[in-house]
Structure 1
Amino acid sequence: MPEKTKPVFGPPVITATDLTARFGTNTLFRHVSFEVKRGEVFVILGGSGCGKSTLLKLMIGLVPPAEGKVDILDTDIWATEGAARLDLLKRIGVMWQQGAMFGSQTLLENVEMPLAEHTTLPAEARREVARAKLGLVGLSAAADQLPSEISGGMLKRAGIARALALDPPILFLDEPSAGLDPITSAGLDALIRDLSRSLGTTFVVVTHELASILAIGDRCIMLDKEAKGMIAEGDPRELRDHGTHPTVRAFFLREAL
């Protein structure tokens, strides 16, 4: 069989430079720098307490860095204010770990909400777009159900559909596989991979789930609580097979230090 050709990614759409996260006297990580290329699935991984979710919040403008900066689509997210900042934020989508859906609204209404908030589309057009996004994640038949009426895996898919509502070029996913059984998790991994390749969307995924990292990641960085920073960067399969840092090897080979 011919060898699979590796996908070719575009120029960087996110550039993190010398980032430090600090809360009072507690430094979570320091001097973290990396780039995320257009169209790739970029994974932020590491053990509990290393600062993965904080890094995500810093990248999307929720938590300010103690030092350093983040450029998204050639714009410093922390140096941008007012309408320009809102325009930049509309170009990224976020799916939180628990889905963060509004319980009193149907899935269709949840996905339609960003369109009502940020576009001038008429109601019928908004509903059609929302139905299309639910179709992308395999939830067309569940459009009229409430979040409480669907499974955890479906809830994650609905969260991705809502994050896609405004067609952002970049999607951030926080622990998408958390709490899912292996089969459901594998299905979600396949969905993320398919959306990345079919839409050309850049995904930034925070996770510590090894199977998901290896299934979806084109490239990754690894944070470490003890080192208070980044200890590895590259193709996760290369890090698994050839990583030399003891913590990196222990993570990918599931070994005790």
Structure 2
Amino acid sequence: MPASQEAEAVIRVRDLAARFDGRTVFEHVSFDVRRGEVFVILGGSGCGKSTLLKHIIGLYQPAEGSIEVLGERIEALEGAARQALLRRIGVMWQSGALFGSSTLAENVEVPLEEHTGLPAEARALVARVKLGLVGLSDAALRLPAEISGGMAKRAGIARAMALDPPILFLDEPSAGLDPITSAGLDALITQLARDLGTTFVVVTHELQSILAIGDRCIMLDKEAKGMIAEGDPRRLRDESQNPVVRAFFRREVMA
């Protein structure tokens, strides 16, 4: 079931603005992500979804505003403190971003090699457990070129989970997948969130996925340069009076 309205906020974004070379991508963006929920950042192309994600995980510095992740102001952290926080989040990029010359198991082991002192046998065991969680137990010794796009996305999620982070960020997980594979990935995300209590922040514009997995969402808009909606995506689809939000959720052409 969705995260409780009273659940602790593990991410707090306040009055965030992103600007590059004098161009405002978005501004005045504020929201919370609650522990254990699947939170979706949605909107049309060019609205700043991936830019917002990169701000939250510390790749970009805000032009204005603040970002708190797991009780820490990520934009203010440096050195060892910053690295310690980053080890508590996992990220799966759109393509899966797997190392082509390494097996799936070796890909999952990369964060363990970099950030733990586990011996090789223990790393291999953890990798197989994580691959098992995403349904890839039988593919551990395959190379990325030997698997499908959907399997690559699952392997990317397994690697993102290697250090047992409480928050996982997924960038366009359904992009490029056929409807059946996409539905399977949606089911996996929902299952992991419920079984493990992991918080997911998912960037996507795939309407079916949004409605299938999202507990709550925010919608960004390119023209508005900011947020235009927040809440349960199904309620936004059925009840929003904003014509842009309504058009997005109902796949309508704007007049």
Given the two structures, how large is their TM-score scaled by the length of structure 2? 0.98
Name the SS for the 1:49 alignment partner. Answer: coil
CA contact (8 A) 2:38 2:199 kept: yes
In structure 2, what is the equivalent of residue 186 of structure 1? 183
Deviation, 1:11, is 0.5
* Unaligned segments of structure 2, at least 5 residues: none
Give, as a single letter, the amino acid of the residue that structure 1 aligns with 2:228: I
Q: Pick from 108, 111, 130 the counterpart of residue 111 of structure 1.
A: 108
Give the Cα separation in 2 of the matches to 1:103 and 1:147.
Answer: 6
Give the Cα separation in 2 of the matches to 1:19 and 1:192.
Answer: 27
In structure 1, what is the equivalent of residue 140 of structure 2? 143
CA contact (8 A) 2:3 2:36 kept: no
Deviation, 1:6, is 5.1
* Unaligned segments of structure 1, at least 5 residues: none
Per-residue CA deviation, residues 60-111 of structure 1 (Å, 9 max, x unaligned), is 0001111011000110001111111100000000000000000000000000
Q: Pick from 224, 248, 251 the counterpart of residue 248 of structure 2.
A: 251
1:174 aligns with 2:171: yes
Judge which range, 177-186 or 19-28, deviates more.
Answer: 19-28
Give the Cα separation in 2 of the matches to 1:202 and 1:6.
Answer: 11
Give the Cα separation in 1 of the matches to 2:29 and 2:21.
Answer: 19
Name the SS for the 1:20 alignment partner. Answer: strand
Aligned counterparts, 1:118-133, within 5 A: 118-133=115-130
In structure 2, what is the equivalent of residue 8 of structure 1? 4
Per-residue CA deviation, residues 183-208 of structure 1 (Å, 9 max, x unaligned), is 00000000000000000000000000
Q: Pick from 43, 59, 73 the counterpart of residue 62 of structure 1.
A: 59
Task: Calculate percent identity across the aligned residue pairs.
Answer: 74
Aligned counterparts, 1:191-210, within 5 A: 191-210=188-207
Give the Cα separation in 1 of the matches to 2:16 and 2:67.
Answer: 8
Q: Which runs of 4+ in 1 moved over 2 A?
A: 5-10
1:44 aligns with 2:49: no
Give the Cα separation in 2 of the matches to 1:227 and 1:204.
Answer: 22
1:165 aligns with 2:181: no
Name the SS for the 1:144 alignment partner. Answer: coil
Deviation, 1:58, is 0.4
Name the SS for the 1:193 alignment partner. Answer: helix
Deviation, 1:8, is 2.6
Name the SS for the 1:121 alignment partner. Answer: coil
Give the Cα separation in 1 of the matches to 2:43 and 2:124.
Answer: 39
Give, as a single letter, the amino acid of the residue that structure 2 aligns with 1:128: L
Name the SS for the 2:75 alignment partner. Answer: coil
Given the two structures, how large is their TM-score scaled by the length of structure 1? 0.97
Aligned residue-pair number: 253
